[in-house]
């Protein structure tokens, strides 16, 4: 499988992390949408030319959450990561839509400001805080964000918290989130070194864009 991606891209990270969790071998095609040559190569497989884009035996899938679903349905040993039960699946969907509709962008915008030493507005940080409070609520009686089992929703929301962790966001008031965040690290091989690369690559991009 070919994965067109860049590790600094927040939407790409949950795909990489899930693939590692599943033990999948990917042909990583590092792609910068800011590089004209990379962009032309990407356009040949994805007319929207967005990353991540997965090519599996000729089948092309793009959009992070669509790829997570595809990988879980095709390659997971059972349906725990993406339940077949409609009730359980609806909870996973809700968590994914929460992340895509609000939380991922809020956390990414905050860390992007932080890494280039720009102020983050109180209004924006209030959005982040509300998102963290919601996830704390999700985890009140559950070890994972969508219930008793690890699901693809955990991988997407985990990336949003990785963004907050880069800016040293204090989780003291959110013990459920802190416990879950630490637990997620046990599900993803080589996480520590990868997160260091993510920070370095993201900061380099932001610095270049803010010259």
Query: 3-state DSSP call for residue 96?
Result: helix
Phi/psi at 207 (nearest 5 deg)?
A: -60, -40
From the list 179, 172, 87, the residue with the least C-alpha distance to 139 is 179
Same fold, 2-75 and 86-210: no
pLDDT at 3: 97
**Nearest-angstrom CA–CA distance, 145 and 103:** 14
With a CB cutoff of 8 Å and minimum separation 6, the contacts of 114 are: 120, 166, 167
CA 188/CA 21 separation, integer angstroms: 5
How confident is residue 116, by pLDDT bands cut at 50, 70 and 90? confident
pLDDT recorded at residue 211:
65
Task: Kindly state the greatest CA–CA separation across the chain.
Answer: 50
The domain segmentation of the chain, as residue ranges, is: 2-75, 86-210
Give the Cα separation of 161 and 99 in Å (integer): 11
Q: Considering the domain 2-75, what is its CATH architecture? A: 3-Layer(aba) Sandwich (3.40)
Task: Choose the catalytic residue: 9, 112, 160, 163.
Answer: 9
- Which residues does 84 contact at the CB level (< 8 Å), separation at least 6? none
- pLDDT given at position 164: 95
Of 50-54, 89-93, 108-112, the least confident: 108-112
Coil, helix or strand at residue 3: strand
Which whole number is the average pLDDT over 48-59? 96
Percent of the chain whose pLDDT exceeds 90: 87
Nearest to 81 by CA among 72, 93, 89: 72
Question: What integer best gives the mean pLDDT of the chain?
Answer: 94
pTM listed for this prediction: 0.95
Q: Which of 7, 33, 38, 39 is nearest to 20 (CA)?
A: 7
Q: Please state which of the ranges 143-147, 181-185, 202-206 shows the lowest mean pLDDT.
A: 202-206
* Whether 31 contacts 38, CB under 8 Å: yes
Q: Is residue 209's pLDDT more than 90?
A: no
Residue 29 near residue 2 (C-beta atoms within 8 A): yes
- The yes-or-no answer on residue 142 being catalytic is no
Which of the four CATH numbers 3.30.1050.10, 1.10.1740.10, 1.20.1730.10, 1.20.1050.10 does domain 86-210 have? 1.20.1050.10
Reply yes or no on whether the pLDDT at 207 is more than 90.
no
Instruction: Supply the pLDDT for residue 210.
Output: 72
Q: What is the pLDDT of residues 118-169, one digit of tens each?
A: 899 999 999 999 999 999 999 999 999 999 999 999 999 999 999 999 999 9
Q: For residues 126 and 19, what is the distance between their CA atoms, to the nearest angstrom? A: 33
pLDDT value for 204: 87
**Per-residue pLDDT averaged across 1-18, rounded?**
95
DSSP three-state, residue 206: helix
**Placement of tokens 């998102």 in the chain:** 131
Specify the DSSP element, H or E, that contains 5.
strand 2-5
For 210, the token pair is: 């803010």
């Amino acid at each position: 499988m070919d994965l067109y991606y860049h590790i600094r891209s927040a939407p790409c990270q949950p795909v990489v992390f899930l693939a590692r969790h599943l033990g999948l071998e990917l042909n990583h095609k590092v792609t910068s949408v800011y590089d004209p040559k990379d962009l032309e190569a990407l356009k040949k497989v994805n007319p929207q030319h967005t990353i991540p884009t997965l090519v599996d035996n000729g089948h092309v899938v793009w959009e992070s959450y669509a790829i997570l679903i595809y990988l879980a349905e095709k390659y997971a040993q059972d349906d725990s990561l993406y339940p077949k039960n409609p009730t359980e699946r609806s909870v996973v969907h809700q968590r994914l839509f929460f992340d895509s509709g609000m939380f991922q962008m809020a956390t990414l915008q905050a860390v992007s400001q932080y890494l280039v030493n720009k102020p983050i507005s109180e209004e924006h940080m209030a959005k982040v805080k509300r998102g963290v409070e919601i996830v704390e609520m999700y985890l009140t009686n559950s070890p994972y964000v969508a219930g008793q089992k690890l699901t693809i929703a955990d991988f997407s929301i985990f990336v949003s918290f990785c963004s907050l962790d880069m800016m040293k966001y204090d989780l003291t008031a959110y013990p459920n989130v802190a416990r879950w965040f630490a637990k997620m690290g046990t599900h993803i091989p080589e996480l520590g070194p990868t997160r260091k690369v993510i920070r370095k690559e993201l900061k380099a991009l932001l610095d270049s864009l803010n010259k």
